[in-house]
C-alpha cells in the first residue's frame, strides 16, 4: 500500500464525519446559480460546525470561514475554497528539517500513552529504508518495560540500540549513544526520552539537560526535537505541545493514531495554532505504518471523493 493510500485510509473516519455534516450544504452552495452570490449564514454556520467537529480548532476554522467570505462571489466553488485554504495553512507551517551534521541527533518527546516508544522503532525502520543508518538511544531509564519494548522494536527495524541499566542518568546514555554513533559512523541518533506530563517541572528540566549534553557533543544538536502527539486527544494536545515547545525546543510533530479518530483535523489546528510542521503521521500498528506527512496528500485524501 502506497503512502497516499495509507493516509487516505487513516482519514476515513475523519472524512466520514466532516463530509457527512456538510455534504448537502455544499451541494446547494456550489450549484451554478449560487456561485456568484455571497455565502449565506446557514452555509457559514454549517461550515464552522463541520470544521470544529473535525477538531480543526476555532482559530483555524475562523480563518477558513473568513477566506470563504472574502473570495466567494468570484465563481469559486465552496469546496475548492475550503480545500485551498486548508492546504495553505498546512504549507505555511512547513519547514525544512535541519541537516548537515553527522550524526544527526533527533530527540523524541511526549507524554505517556502517545505511542512514543513504538514510534521511535517505526521511525528507525523508515529512515533505514531511506538509506540512512540510524542508531537508537534508550534514554527512558526509569521504566525497564520501556527499554525492553524499545529493544524489540530496534530488532524489528534492524538497527543498533544503546541502553544501560535502570535508573541511570538519561543524559549519560545520550552521551554514550552519540559516542557510539560517531564511532560506528551512523547518520542518525534517535533518542527515546521518558514519557512525561508537561506539568512536571523536574522532568521537563531533565529534557533541557539532555539537550545540553547533545549540543556539547555535536554542533547544533539536538537537530530535531519531535513531539509525539496522540491525534485522539484533540485540542488537549495543543496545550501539551505549547509546554513542550517552551521546555524542550520542539520543532516538529509526529501525529500518531490518526486512523483511530474522527477528528483528524487536529493536523490543521497544529499547523495553524503552533506553526509547527508535522513531520510524520502514524496510521496503524505495523512497523511500516509511520509515514512522512505531506500537506498535499493529506488534503487530497480528505477531499478525494465528492461531497
Task: Return the CA Rg of the chain.
Answer: 21
Q: Please tell me the predicted confidence (pLDDT) of residue 239.
A: 86
**Distance of alpha carbon 166 from alpha carbon 76, whole angstroms:** 61
What pLDDT, on the 0 to 100 scale, is given for residue 1?
63
Per-residue pLDDT, 201? 66
Per-residue pLDDT of the chain (307 residues; tens, 9 = 90+): 677 899 999 999 998 888 777 776 677 676 666 666 677 788 888 889 889 988 999 999 999 999 988 887 666 788 889 999 999 999 999 998 888 789 999 999 998 888 899 999 999 999 999 999 999 999 988 877 888 999 999 999 999 999 987 778 999 999 999 999 999 999 999 999 988 765 566 777 888 899 999 999 999 999 999 999 999 988 888 988 888 888 788 999 999 999 999 889 999 999 999 999 999 999 999 999 999 999 999 999 988 754 3
**E-strand stretches of 116-209:** 134-138, 160-162, 188-192
104-250 CATH? 3.40.50.300
Phi, psi dihedral angles at 220 (to 5 degrees): 80, 0
C-alpha cell at 183: 564511532
CA 301 to chain centre: 17
Q: Provide the pLDDT for residue 292.
A: 95
Q: Residue 158: how many CB atoms within 10 A of its CB?
A: 10
pLDDT of residue 306: 47
Kind of pairing between the strands at 278-282 and 290-292: antiparallel
| pLDDT the model gives residue 307 | 37
What pLDDT was estimated at residue 305?
Answer: 58
Bridge pairing between strands 104-109 and 224-230: parallel
Residue with cell 495553512: 89
The reported pLDDT for the residue numbered 33 is 60
Give the pLDDT score at 199. Answer: 57
- Looking at residue 2, what is its pLDDT? 74
Q: What is the pLDDT of residue 300?
A: 92
Max Cα-Cα span within the chain: 71
Amino acid at each position: 500500500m502506497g503512502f497516499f493510500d495509507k493516509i487516505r485510509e487513516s482519514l476515513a473516519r475523519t472524512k466520514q464525519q466532516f463530509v457527512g455534516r456538510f455534504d448537502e450544504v455544499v451541494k446547494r452552495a456550489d450549484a451554478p446559480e449560487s456561485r456568484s452570490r455571497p455565502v449565506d449564514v446557514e452555509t457559514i454556520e454549517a461550515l464552522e460546525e463541520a470544521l470544529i467537529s473535525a477538531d480543526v480548532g476555532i482559530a483555524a476554522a475562523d480563518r477558513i470561514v473568513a477566506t470563504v467570505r472574502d473570495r466567494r462571489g468570484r465563481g469559486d466553488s465552496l469546496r475548492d475554497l475550503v480545500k485551498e485554504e486548508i492546504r495553505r495553512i498546512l504549507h505555511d507551517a512547513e519547514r525544512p528539517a535541519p541537516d548537515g551534521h553527522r550524526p544527526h541527533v533527533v530527540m523524541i518527546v511526549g507524554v505517556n500513552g502517545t505511542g512514543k516508544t513504538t514510534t521511535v522503532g517505526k521511525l528507525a525502520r523508515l529512515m533505514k529504508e531511506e538509506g540512512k543508518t540510524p542508531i537508537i538511544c534508550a534514554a527512558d531509564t526509569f521504566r525497564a518495560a520501556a527499554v525492553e519494548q524499545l529493544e524489540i522494536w530496534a530488532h524489528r527495524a534492524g538497527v543498533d540500540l544503546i541502553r544501560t541499566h535502570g535508573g541511570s542518568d538519561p543524559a549519560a546514555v545520550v552521551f554514550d549513544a552519540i559516542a557510539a554513533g560517531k564511532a560506528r559512523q551512523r547518520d542518525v541518533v534517535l533518542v527515546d526520552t521518558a514519557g512525561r506530563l508537561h506539568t512536571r517541572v523536574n522532568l521537563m528540566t531533565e529534557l533541557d539537560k539532555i539537550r545540553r549534553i547533545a549540543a556539547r557533543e555535536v554542533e547544533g544538536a539536538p537537530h530535531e526535537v519531535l513531539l509525539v502527539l496522540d491525534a485522539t486527544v484533540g485540542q488537549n494536545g495543543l496545550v501539551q505541545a505549547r509546554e513542550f515547545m517552551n521546555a524542550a525546543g520542539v520543532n516538529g510533530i509526529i501525529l500518531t493514531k490518526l486512523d483511530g479518530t474522527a477528528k483528524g483535523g487536529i493536523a490543521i489546528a497544529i499547523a495553524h495554532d503552533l506553526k509547527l510542521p508535522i513531520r510524520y503521521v502514524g496510521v496503524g500498528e505495523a512497523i511500516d505504518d509511520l509515514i512522512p506527512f505531506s500537506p498535499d496528500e493529506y488534503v487530497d485524501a480528505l477531499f478525494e471523493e465528492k461531497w
